[in-house]
Structure 1
Amino acid sequence: MRRRNLIALTATMPLLSVTQQAAGQPATGAWTAATEYPAGAMPAEGLVRLAEAAKPLEITPAFDAPGGVRSAAMPRAVAEGRFAIGDAFAGALGGLDPVFLLSSLPFLATSAEEAKRLLAAARPAYLAALEKLGVTLLHCTPWPPTGIWSRRPIATPADLRGLKVRTYDATGTETLRALGAAAELLSFQAVATRLADGSLDAVLSSGDGGAGRRLWEHLPHFTEIGYAMPVSLAFGDPAKLRALEDGQRAALERAATRTEAGLWTLLETRDAANQTRMRENGVTIARPGAPLLAALKEAGGKAVRDWEAKAGTSGAEILAAYRAGG
């Protein structure tokens, strides 16, 4: 199914010159695969694995928002040919289509098994939404569970009031603001500066993202709230895909399939490895108390209902398929 979708899309692109087709070269630009995340983070690992599996096609991974391009702007950058492949955190694209907020809806999918089922239900919608943005889905990258990194312990709902916390999507912002936090939607690239100048007290992120950015230098506490297990999306420039010979394109698809499967396998040990590294760097890891978890789930439930209203029939169908598989 994935190969048919990619071939059908690329077949609609303008024909290249005979020389380009014979050489199997992309129409414009080098094969750079870009992400705003640092080397070692799950999306970066995905691009490294894709580049390795796609050989002899030469793909060069680029980390830390090359050219200043962050997740929200990545689809446009790829569609315009600035990169052959881009990675974006799905929630950062929520302003373009509500479906991109799905994987990070609070307390909807909080285990790897649930996250896999949600992705299976949502994949056709992700593919269609990305096609509307002028890019082609290649693979999805799972993230470890989201928690709260903070300067001081967070044990009760009262600890959230006034907390200056970075969130990664609109539903997270809504959820934490409902509990009195001064929540602000920021790209991961913006976090370091805001922590250094003291204008943030906390960051909503996984242990994975936090380790990649060494958040422990400012935030020595991590609360395992089990908020969500979101995904990032890796997508290609259809013009560059169209420029490949059929065999090269099929090889890239096989590489993408292999990469995604490998990332889910990596996820099985990733959280434990992150926590070991966090503890080695002085991070205190704590579970939330029952009142805090109940307050978060109540606020998160409202955010999910608001999303369902925005997503309409298509969103309801995805959630129904997901819940039916549970």
Structure 2
Amino acid sequence: MPTPYGDSVFHTQNIQQLAEDVSAATDGGLTITVHSAGSLFGHPEIKDSVRRGLAPIGEVLMSRLANEDPIFGIDSVPFLASNYDESRALWQASREVVTQKLADQGLTLLYAVPWPGQSIYTKDPISSTADLEGANFRAYNTATERLAQLMGAVPTQLETGDIPTAFSTGRVAAMITSPSTGVSSQAWDFTNHYTDTQAWLPKNMVIVNTAALEGLPEEQQSALMEAAKAAETRGWEMSRAETDEKIATLKENGMTVSEPSDELAQQLSDIGQTMTDEWLAEAGDEGAQVVEDYRASLK
């Protein structure tokens, strides 16, 4: 099982627990060997490696697939869902259509778990988007590319493991990511300020090759699905705990943690509305229905 993130990341730890649960439930009949940190396939290759059967199961950031269908990017539209309750409601509204999109490619969704909310890391304090104008800004999907553009920054594609080197060499000067990634990359070594925007909570999905799944004995299929259900519940709880813990770690290591200024908050809200409108235009009736269902569920 290839995964993109290292063993210290809670998503990987959750997957390791999934593997242990499956092995225990099947008396060792079904074992999952986790290859973390992109050691088997790089993040961009994981989804296709599972689809093609090169690996039967894998983990991928859902929004990485937004280029093939906008519905995969719904959880990375800034400020559409910007806390855990909203993120859960958005997932409930979008899960069925995401599941079907994957099924059409011979993939079965096992579960999805969000990262903590995405916030901005910089060397210098920022009070408005003008402070980011012209800066190289780390991007990891289409949404972060567009966000950087709307802030006047220059999007630069960069995988998690390359973050420290990219900052130290001047390849990037700012990024928006979770406190988890900030701690795992020891952001205090190359940035000083964490602006707590909580812009969105992107999810990682664990997917399995449907043919491989259906090739398992029925009791092993059931054990995997039950373990996946438990992993989703556990993962959301781990993510909530992670938020508080990792922000505290950033502070302990000397980073200045602050709320966005009124000006920056308004600018980011306006950008979020622009990006929601753009996403809806791209996603069409299907996306509009998901957003309508999501917003209705919040009332």
**TM-score of Structure 1 vs Structure 2, range by shorter chain:** over 0.9
CA distance in 2, matches of 1:212, 1:52: 24
| Aligned position for 1:141 | 113
Unaligned runs of 5+ in 1: 1-32
Q: Does 1:252 align with 2:220?
A: no
1:113-172 deviation line (CA, Å, top 9, x unaligned): 100000001111111121233321111011111001112222222212122111232122
Q: Is 1:285 aligned to residue 273 of structure 2?
A: no
Superposed CA deviations along residues 20-73 of structure 1, whole A, max 9, x for unmatched, are xxxxxxxxxxxxx22111222232123112112212321122211123421x32
1:63 aligned onto 2:31: no
CA distance in 2, matches of 1:224, 1:322: 24
Identity %: 28
| Ranges in structure 2 where 5+ consecutive residues have no aligned partner | none
Tell me the secondary structure at the aligned position of residue 111 of structure 2. strand
Contact 1:175 1:296 in 2 (8 A): no
- 1:182-261 superposed matches below 5 A: 182-261=154-233
Deviates more, 1:148-157 or 1:180-189: 180-189
2:123 to 140, 151, 158: 151
> Normalising to structure 2: TM-score of the pair?
0.93
Give the whole-Å Cα distance in 2 for the aligned partners of 1:68 and 1:76: 10
Q: Equivalent of 1:98, from 52, 66, 70?
A: 70
- Quick one: distance in 1 between partners of 2:7 and 2:249? 16
Distance in 2 (CA, whole Å) between partners of 1:74 and 1:320 is: 32
Task: Write the letter of the residue equivalent to 1:171.
Answer: A
Which residue among 123, 126, 130 is the counterpart of 2:102? Answer: 130
Paired position in structure 1 for 2:15: 47
Change (3 A) 1:224 1:325: same
Shift of 1:110: 0.8
Distance 1:61 1:243 in 2: 20
For 1:34, give the aligned amino acid: P
Residues 13-52 of structure 1: pairs in structure 2 closer than 5 A:
33-52=1-20
Query: Which portions of structure 1, spanning 4 or more consecutive aligned residues, are displaced by more than 3 angstroms?
Result: none
- Of the structure 1 ranges 61-70 and 142-151, higher mean CA displacement relative to structure 2 is found in 61-70
Q: CA deviation at 1:273?
A: 0.6
Check conservation: 2:62, 2:205, Cα contact below 8 A: yes
Aligned length: 293
Change in CA separation of 1:316 and 1:176 when aligned onto 2, cut-off 3 Å: same
The DSSP-based 3-state class of the residue aligned with 1:149 is strand
Give the CA RMSD over aligned residues.
1.5
Task: State the Cα distance separating 1:312 from its structure 2 match.
Answer: 0.6
